[in-house]
Structure 1
Amino acid sequence: MRKPTKSASPKTRCAIYTRKSCEEGLELEFNSLDAQRESAEAFIASQQLEGWQCLPERYDDGGFSGGSLERPALGRLLEDIKEGKIDCVVVYKVDRLSRSLLDFTRIMEVFDKQKVSFVSVTQQFNTTHSMGRLTLNILLSFAQFEREIISERIRDKIAAQRRKGKWYGGIPVLGYDVDRSSPSVKLIVNEQEAIQVRKIFALYLELGSLTPVMEELESRDWRTKLWRTKKGQQRGGRSFDKGALYALLTNPLYMGTIKHKSERFEGEHAAIIEKKIFDEVQRQLNKNGRGKGNRLINKYGALLKGLVYCKACGYAMVHTFTSRQTKRYRYYTCCKAIKQGWKSCPTKSVPAGELENVVVDQIRSIAEDRSLVEDVYVQACSEHRSELAQLKEQSEQLERQLSRDHSQITRLATKHDPTSATTSTIADLHERIASNEEQLREIRDRQAELDSQQISHQEVLDAFRDFEKIWNVLSAYERAKIVSLLVARVEFDVSDSTVSISFHPSAIKSLAEGAA
């Protein structure tokens, strides 16, 4: 009877890498590269029972320094590893692979990602064994420490430059061009774009919120800054969304200042916006953010100012009026019809008084009809869940972006003798990280706020029960304020002349507590 044979070990494809810094002696029949390869081949042969096989492909870098990764044979080796052709890399000594700890770490990251082992013949360094992996982890820890030191030095350099008012690179903003002719990069005012920037600030103060300004910019076909990278690639030139518009309106660069974290310093560049106007815009942005719908002073008694939208096209409907002799006629008019012509939207305009009466009557009737209370309750709960889901998605996106940015800083910090472009990129990443962390804090605060704003049927009923009594003693300004706090959105459908109202769940809860 034949004895069962022991199953063969899985094959391990081994590549030998050799390097010599100078070209002297390479012309010899048996040179240093051959000696390194011979030692590595002998080691692989000693592991034959483990299934190790030496690949015939030679990866020899003769006349290349170990202080750089720009080596042809090393490049081929890494490419073959990524293509899955190699299981183990064998060298004579660790410094044959790299003399730089940071470069060595980067190479090890490629090996680890592709599940490739690494062996140094003369130093008993073998990542197929636990001791070799421990040694590697110690080296990687020192490399991480060196990365952080480099990153810290770059941050300190950026901070010092910004305290001097110098612009330290990044994405150009609307209103400025980058002057690279001088030894230090500077910002110069682009007069044509500066006119647009001033108008955008004025429009926000005039219209009072981001959405109508965004629609106005779209109707004018105004775009974000169009610029080119050093490689000639075109960037920007997109329509303004809320994020881009908010970033423009809150950028202290337009006041002639440079921001570093929470501090501002006088910049070398000229201001486009006066400090008084900039501060006024910030107050209005903060007011809208805190009040969740508070609007500018209602000069013409528009009860639904900033709340009405056209069902047909989705555009906002703004408060307008016409005067005939001594009488004024008020309307809510579709922005699309105003900007693109009366034929562009079937809604055009609706008498303001009629629409306002319909909305107030609907609010009054809610407390009198249990089914309407149920409808408002269901709608409020739905909006509550929807906002929580949206906040969760936003927070997850920010967390992913923060993780990517931290990883990119780590990669850039490993570069030797970082260029000004690298330093500028790291500066931008730190700025973005700070901004995203602030946004993440705001989102988490809002999530906590929403968690405390769960409402019940009874709270909805209490909120509307005393509405009539409260409403009758309010001034026109107070009525508009109450409606803006209570109502999130009013949609007018011209096809059947119906009105739908969306309420703020938090405002319903507050009103109920006030009534109680």
Structure 2
Amino acid sequence: MDAIYTRQSVDKKDSISIETQIELCKREVTGASYKIYQDKGYSGSNTNRPDFQAMLRDIRNGLVNRVIVYRLDRMSRSLLDFANLIDLLDQYHTSFVSTQEKFDTGTPMGRAMLSITMVFAQLERETIQLRIRDNYYARGEKGMYLGGPPPYGFQKAETRKDGKRFKYLEPIDTEAEVIRQMYEMYGNSLYTLGEVARALNDNGYQTHTGKEWSGSKVGLSLKNPVYVRSDIRIYQYYKNKGCQITSEPDLFMGTNGCYLYGRRKGNERKYSTFAEHVLSLAPSEGFIDAELFLKCQRRLDGNMQLDNSAWGQLTWLTGLIKCAHCGYAAVPKSSNGGRYYYLYCSGRAMHCCDVATNLGQSKDVEAAVEQRIFQIVRKYGTIPVEQHRKISLEANRLKAQIQHCRNQIDKLIDMALDSDGVTGTYLNERMEELDKRKTKLESRLAEAEAGDTAVTEKQMDSFLQDWPKLDVRHKNELARMFIDHIDVSKEEITIFWKHNFGEGELPL
């Protein structure tokens, strides 16, 4: 029996129909009987097609002498899948005929030409995919919205640019306010993703599809940079994550949101890297401050989560306290049946520290740090937010210029490696000029940031109002908003702040 196989993924004006394929294949039938297998609406990227699988079963049962197709790509667009199919046909002494390429695997030359053709067919397919992807991202660089349902807080709008239709995102004021509440709850309080979702549902807010919010949906919204007023910190955050950024750093001036394109691997629970993603500035303005956006990213990245080990539940200083002598973590260990906990350097076990005694009781260190935190809160809690915003804008402008200098220097280094002696001399001179400019900009940035000691009033209020009733985990999260790390020795405690409060040395 001859088997005629036909496939058509979608109906198009320029695509050949199932019926036409069948008529062309019938001309190659030589036996008295044939059977038609047809898969309409199925892609050739894989072999999960009902009639294709039925044909394979008939081949294995010895019912098929020849397989006839209109073209090779009707069978499969994957070289590996096609190679496996040819192996199966050889195993059951079944030949293969293509009406257009005129291949007959009943001959050695036919088999050789078939293999060569499939290699070039896959190369063509992959080249087309690459060209489509590049064109897709190029449209994103121009500010076009590249399709799919709009994110919550936006609706699709259309205009014309250079004679072409241009789709972009337009904010919806009522939904934008819900997004603001979402970021505030997660970034400036102790809500978990699930608790944020429940709060939104309790207030009657629904997603675009009319469904309730869930923790995962909230997390996706918090990860979307389309909402953020993108400044140089946003540029650096995604650059450090390995993201390809199409917009120049000096365009990140704290106004527009960003489009992030790319596909996360299915086995990744978190966005730990953006190596295969592209970031472009969007034409729409953002409505979430960069600082609040990054604060949410740090929580989502896991940087602000408490250690789940046993000693992680013993002190809210977990992950913050380090031995002042060697820099290794200081960990609490119990004494007298667990009544008292003393801090010991973890570096001793690896022979990296020679501190023979403990670093003091953990409760005493907690009390000293807590006292210093509250001094900071009361001292800086009344700084006007507007003053902080002006300083931040100037710092952002300087950071953008510094990043631009770095990018230019990197390009010149690559050019110098491939240049001759004369050209290399000019490139080196240009690099020296850029390096001097970068040094001056960094000096001005240091001066600007020296005056930037503001933390939002809501953060301060969180300490004053919530601290007494917080558990260990939540105290740790709140403390991490302010403290980078704490060096502890038998004689003193030194707090290294994330903001420009200065180092506080507290005697034990």
Report the TM-score when normalising by structure 1: 0.41
| Larger CA Rg, structure 1 vs 2 | 1
Larger RCO of the pair (alpha carbons < 8 Å, separation 6+): 1
Which is helix-richer, 1 or 2? 1
